[in-house]
């Protein structure tokens, strides 16, 4: 960013310096041209007066002497032509094309007294001309050769001084622009470093408040925002830990009392009551576990969204795990429950089975295990097929079954908390499994995609960004 800003400021400073130098050089050229023009036109008018006097008295010797003296002093040629004679000095050739044009214009009583603007390099010889005589009759013409070499040398000196001053000014402007850019961008670089630190470590040091007022206010706002976000996340984590501790203790005590009651009433004539209490207690424990898992998943999802909002995490800060190992481990864990209800588990992988994903290994196993448990539960006695596909940029884990499946409306609603299909109320569950998987996938930059399997069944796919690296990084 600094290079781009310096590039723009450098271009603007170059245009400014060029415009300023051009204005100064143009003014200098006009001034030197005007001085030379005034001086030579004065000499031209003087020669016209002397020539008119010589023509009226027929005394040409004095005029020739004045012409020779002028040419010797200034090194410029003079030509005076009358009806019967032509006077020359300074080696001015009357047969030159430009001299002929000047004489012709002067014979038509058209004076040529305007000099072209001086240039530091180029022709140094110019002509001025005019006629002399009465108002009704042209008696002759005067052509004066103007040597602009001295004025051009002054102009070249001016160019050298202006160009040197322009270079010094440009260097000074670039140094000033670099300092101003550094002063403006230093807080921005600090903000970027702080955001990367917040994303990588979950903490951020307090930013110094310097630079322009707007960036100082931005630093204060970012520091306050990061403090509030980190405080909120810490409160959520603490709430989850406190809830887990405070609820599990009474539930465990209640479980102990129910077990003691079962021992005391083992010969009771009404065992169904105790069994109902035990079943409800099991349901409370299962619901408590699900709620705590969901709270943890939603907290992780919130952290992931907050960090992705400020930019992608550096590669060194990303989790990496092997989906193939996670699927294998969860298949081994699920094999016992699958054999109990007669469900057959099959696994299919692509050739690139060692691909890695940017996901927490524990949470990946938790998501795969939840999908397998859900499929085994609702497709009892059927088939559960796990497919692992590695693509160029993503890795997909698909768990499909040939159970009853769900309708399109149910697929949309099944990631809602505590939602359960009306057709499956008789199957034990909390309605939190798919919600937990959805939130954990979101926390790890992935997504849960649900669909139907032909002719019937459910297809649940976890899609994660593929991560570079190998086993040493996992």
pTM: 0.48
Spans in the chain with pLDDT lower than 50? 309-317, 470-474
pLDDT tens for each residue of 95-152: 899 999 999 988 888 888 898 888 888 788 899 999 988 767 788 899 999 998 889 9
Domains along the sequence of the chain with CATH: 2-155 (3.30.450.20), 213-308 (1.10.287), 315-473 (3.30.565.10)
| Per-residue model confidence (pLDDT) at position 349 | 83
| Per-residue model confidence (pLDDT) at position 473 | 40
| Per-residue model confidence (pLDDT) at position 202 | 59
What is the C-alpha radius of gyration for the chain, rounded to an integer number of angstroms?
49
| Per-residue model confidence (pLDDT) at position 299 | 64
| Per-residue model confidence (pLDDT) at position 37 | 92
| Per-residue model confidence (pLDDT) at position 186 | 74
Cα gap 405→412, rounded to integer Å: 13
| Per-residue model confidence (pLDDT) at position 163 | 93
pLDDT tens for each residue of 24-43: 999 999 999 999 999 999 99
């Amino acid at each position: 960013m600094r290079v781009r800003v310096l590039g723009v400021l450098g271009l603007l400073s170059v245009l400014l310096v060029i415009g300023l130098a051009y204005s100064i050089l143009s003014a200098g050229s006009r001034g030197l041209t005007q001085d030379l023009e005034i001086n030579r036109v004065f000499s031209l008018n003087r020669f016209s007066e002397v020539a008119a006097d010589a023509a009226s008295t027929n005394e040409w010797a004095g005029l020739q002497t004045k012409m020779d003296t002028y040419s010797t002093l200034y090194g410029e040629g003079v030509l005076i032509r009358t009806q019967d004679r032509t006077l020359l000095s300074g080696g001015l050739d009357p047969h030159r094309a430009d001299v002929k044009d000047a004489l012709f214009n002067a014979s038509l009583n058209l004076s040529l007294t305007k000099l072209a603007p001086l240039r530091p390099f180029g022709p140094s010889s110019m002509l001025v001309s005019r006629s002399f005589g009465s108002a009704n009759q042209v008696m002759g013409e005067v052509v004066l050769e103007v040597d602009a070499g001295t004025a051009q040398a002054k102009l070249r000196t001016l160019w050298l001084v202006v160009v040197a001053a322009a270079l010094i000014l440009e260097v000074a402007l670039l140094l000033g622009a670099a300092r101003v850019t550094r002063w403006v961008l230093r807080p921005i670089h600090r903000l970027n470093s702080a955001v990367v630190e917040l994303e990588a470590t979950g903490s951020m040091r307090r930013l110094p408040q310097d630079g322009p007022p707007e960036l100082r206010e931005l630093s204060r706002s970012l520091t306050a925002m990061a403090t509030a976000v980190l405080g909120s996340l810490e409160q959520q984590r603490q709430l989850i830990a406190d809830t887990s501790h405070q609820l599990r203790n009474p539930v465990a005590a209640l479980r102990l009392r129910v077990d003691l009651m079962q021992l005391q009433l083992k010969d009771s004539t009404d065992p169904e009551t105790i069994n109902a209490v035990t079943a409800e207690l099991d349901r409370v424990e299962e619901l408590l576990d699900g709620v705590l898992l969901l709270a943890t998943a939603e907290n992780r999802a919130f952290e992931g969204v907050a960090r992705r909002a400020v930019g992608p995490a550096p590669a060194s800060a990303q989790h990496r795990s092997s989906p193939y190992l996670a699927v294998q481990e969860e298949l081994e864990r699920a094999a016992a429950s699958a054999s109990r209800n007669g469900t057959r588990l099959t696994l299919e992988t692509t050739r690139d089975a060692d691909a890695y994903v940017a996901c927490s290994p524990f949470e990946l196993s938790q998501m795969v295990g939840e999908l397998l448990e859900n499929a085994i539960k609702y497709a009892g006695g059927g088939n559960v097929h796990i497919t692992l596909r590695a693509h160029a940029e993503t890795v997909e884990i698909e768990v499909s079954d040939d159970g009853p499946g769900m309708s399109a409306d149910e697929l949309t609603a099944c990631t809602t908390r505590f939602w359960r299909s009306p057709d499956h109320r008789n199957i034990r569950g909390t309605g939190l499994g798919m919600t937990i998987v959805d939130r954990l996938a979101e926390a790890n930059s992935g997504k849960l995609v649900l669909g139907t399997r032909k002719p019937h069944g459910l297809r649940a796919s976890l899609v994660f960004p593929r991560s570079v690296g190998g086993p040493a990084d996992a």
